[in-house]
Structure 1
Amino acid sequence: MDVTAPAHRLSAAVSAASRLLPARTALRLRADAAGLTVAGRDPDLTVRFDCPATTHTDGEVAVPAAPLAETLKMLGAEPVRVVVEGSRLALRLDQARFALPVLPSVVESPASELPQVSEVDGHVFASALRIVAGTAAKDDPLPLFTGVRVQAGDGELTLTASDRYRMAVARLPLRSPGALDVLVPAALLTEAARQARGVVGLHSGPGRFGLSWAGGLVGTAVLDAGFLSEEAIPSGAVDTIVTLDADALAAAVRRVGVYAEDRRVLTLEVGDTQVRLASARQDTGEAEETLKADVSGGRTSPSFQARYLLDALGAFTGERVVLSIQPGMRACVLRAAETGEVALTYYLMPMLAR
């Protein structure tokens, strides 16, 4: 194999593949008339990224991912010559040469292409996913709480995630009709969507899900999606509706939260035309702040964990947010006052105030 490629473009492809794959996974570089392809796989995951290149000699080689990624990151934007020299893969520049060991060739059965079921705008998808995936658990003995449920049907894509204490549901338009219902590991899906550009294809097959875009492909095994559902959260007992500026409320939460106890729980006292945030800590004192708001329904005083409330409000930055408050320990439902291209619903469980 002998190929010349821009070092920064090759670095981006190698880094993207390395972030998605488990540590110590080898990368396969393949050069042909179309350019250079960086690929890797394990039993659950397949990734492929294309890199523009001038191919002098076709070929394919496997190399360790970590040293290749670290070396390329330091080379800048100049062209790099990537050539097999015996048992080494050499990276050649005008004044430097770096050589990595060529790993034994492993005969792999080609990954079956997952059929594409629909398409979505990549930027809108990544923006919605960033919010929804933030409510998934980072580590949980029940895998369903570490995933994002991806459902397609009736012309829209629905993304759902929850860590038991909160749930986010985003609905966005599909570019083409299709049917899909899978639960995908949240961290993997977020990283894959971050790499995607332009129109993103949604793929599905038995036990697998995939994303594709111009120059990239990620396919993964899926989790059991059956139990993660918005319908499982009662939301029909709303007795108080509060509408106010999300950024103003978030700023007040940050200030008042300084005085909260170790659990960082704040009380939101709803009045006739305002809401009052209050917290107290025995060793530092107490704080309260009042914000104007549009209020309808009964008066109530739910309490929330500050960081969860901030996460929820962050999804509505720059907007007015509607808080539909239910009595007792039922979820508070947050939505934007004016729905945009993405319809987001955020469920936040209240906390018991001390």
Structure 2
Amino acid sequence: MDLTATTSTLAAAAAEVARLLPTRVLDPVLAGLRLRATTDVEVAGSDQEHGVRLTVDATIHTEGEVLVPAKPLAATLQALDDPQVRLKVEGRRLAVRTPASRFAIPLLDLDHHPGVPELPVLAGHVDADKLKIIAAVAGAASRDDALPIFTGIRVWSDAGRLHFLATDRYRMAHGTVPWEQEGRLDLLVPAKAIVEAARQAHGRVALHANEDRLGLAWGHNSISTALLAAPFPDDRARRLLEAVIDSTVLVDADALARAVRRATPYGGPHQAVTIQVEDSEVRVKGNDPQQGESEEFVKATVEGDHLTKTFQARYLADALKAFAGRRIELKIQDGLRSTVLTSEPGEDGVELTYLVVPMRSVA
């Protein structure tokens, strides 16, 4: 194999494949990056759980296929300043060449690689720009691998809408986007994998799915992942979305987020911030006997009762970040019931709802 490619493009593709592959594996070939040079070069990898295929334009001098350690190749390419790079097999090594430098990376045994899984059947199409909602929803997924069911995003479809829902039991996010349906979906997908796939995708994206796997494909590129266990029941989630509201606050999400960020250092050991609803504003407060106290007013339009709620600052900040640049409605319920954050649907038809469970008031 012998090829020349644009360094930045090839480096970006190698980095994306390396990011989805494990660092520590019993079999090194599972952390390998497969390069296949034909009319262009396919950069691919799979640890059997994830599968990635990215295509990069290149000048192919000699066709071929090799397997190399993903991390060293990605790191080497990213460190280069030259606009063009040449990759050439020399014996049992892959030489990475520029006019002034040469690096040699040992090849792995391609015959022992499990291959990159094929995509399942087509389920539908959606615009890549709409899939940005996945990152916002993923903010509510758990990071605790001890409860893997909550580390995923539930994906399901109905007529004309694709739904994404995540929860770690203390907060919940639900987003919907319009799509062209070919088949129905109801899956639980690892949050990290689908966020990465959605971030990479562009243009018109095809969703492929079966009972074991979900894949996103665009052009000659694709990323797929194995599914988690059966989707968590959504009966409770649907009931939470049907909230009985006692107070509605219309406020700029960014202004409220800045106030929450400034109050957080005064949140005490529980990192708690308090939102106090008043006539035409909300008061954001932090209070800690050791660190001191803070108080800030944010203009708002208020309807309903004047309620006071205390939240863990990180959870509230994550929710507000999902609505960056927009005006939101805080739909506040009395007691310890969830506060619901929503905004007007965008022109693209994307909708997002975020729920945050308040804390019991802390002294």
TM-score (norm 2): 0.90
Secondary structure of 2:202's partner?
coil
Is the alpha carbon distance of 1:89 and 1:239 closer, same or farther for their aligned partners in structure 2, counting shifts above 3 Å? same
Specify the alignment match of 1:31 in structure 2.
Answer: 37
What displacement does 1:288 show?
2.1
Q: CA RMSD in A?
A: 2.0
8 Å Cα contact 1:237-1:327 kept in structure 2? no
What displacement does 1:40 show?
1.2
| 1:143 and 2:129 correspond | no
1:134 to 135, 139, 144: 139
Amino acid at match of 1:327: D
Secondary structure of 2:308's partner?
coil
| 1:116 and 2:144 correspond | no
Q: Which stretch of structure 1 is more off in the superposition, 309-318 or 99-108?
A: 99-108
| 1:332 and 2:302 correspond | no
CA distance in 2, matches of 1:250, 1:13: 34
CA distance in 1, matches of 2:320, 2:155: 23
Secondary structure of 2:231's partner?
coil
| 1:269 and 2:243 correspond | no
CA distance in 1, matches of 2:82, 2:56: 13
Secondary structure of 1:220's partner?
strand
Specify the alignment match of 1:85 in structure 2.
Answer: 90
What displacement does 1:326 show?
1.2
Q: Which stretch of structure 1 is more off in the superposition, 253-262 or 41-50?
A: 253-262
8 Å Cα contact 1:144-1:228 kept in structure 2? no
8 Å Cα contact 1:309-1:348 kept in structure 2? yes
Alignment gaps of 5+ in structure 1: none
Amino acid at match of 2:42: T
Amino acid at match of 2:209: S
Secondary structure of 1:333's partner?
strand
8 Å Cα contact 2:45-2:116 kept in structure 1? no
Alignment gaps of 5+ in structure 2: none
Specify the alignment match of 1:204 in structure 2.
Answer: 209
Specify the alignment match of 1:214 in structure 2.
Answer: 219
Amino acid at match of 1:312: A
Secondary structure of 1:164's partner?
coil
Query: What CA deviation, in whole Å up to 9, does each residue of 1:30-51 have, x standing for no partner?
Result: 111x211111112212111111
| 1:40 and 2:53 correspond | no
2:108 to 96, 103, 106: 103
1:265-344 equivalent positions in 2, closer than 5 A: 265-337=272-344, 339-341=346-348, 342-344=350-352
Is the alpha carbon distance of 1:280 and 1:58 closer, same or farther for their aligned partners in structure 2, counting shifts above 3 Å? same
CA distance in 2, matches of 1:297, 1:253: 22
Secondary structure of 1:60's partner?
strand
Identity percentage of aligned residues: 44
Is the alpha carbon distance of 1:290 and 1:78 closer, same or farther for their aligned partners in structure 2, counting shifts above 3 Å? closer
What displacement does 1:282 show?
0.9
8 Å Cα contact 1:153-1:178 kept in structure 2? no
Secondary structure of 2:87's partner?
strand
What displacement does 1:77 show?
4.7
CA distance in 1, matches of 2:259, 2:204: 39
What displacement does 1:52 show?
0.8
Specify the alignment match of 1:18 in structure 2.
Answer: 18
1:256 to 241, 263, 267: 263
CA distance in 1, matches of 2:297, 2:108: 64
Specify the alignment match of 1:239 in structure 2.
Answer: 246
CA distance in 1, matches of 2:229, 2:306: 41
Specify the alignment match of 2:6 in structure 1.
Answer: 6
Aligned length: 352
Is the alpha carbon distance of 1:284 and 1:6 closer, same or farther for their aligned partners in structure 2, counting shifts above 3 Å? closer
| 1:49 and 2:57 correspond | no
What displacement does 1:340 show?
4.4
What displacement does 1:337 show?
4.5
Query: What CA deviation, in whole Å up to 9, does each residue of 1:77-122 have, x standing for no partner?
Result: 5332222222122222223222211222325467333112111111
Amino acid at match of 1:231: R
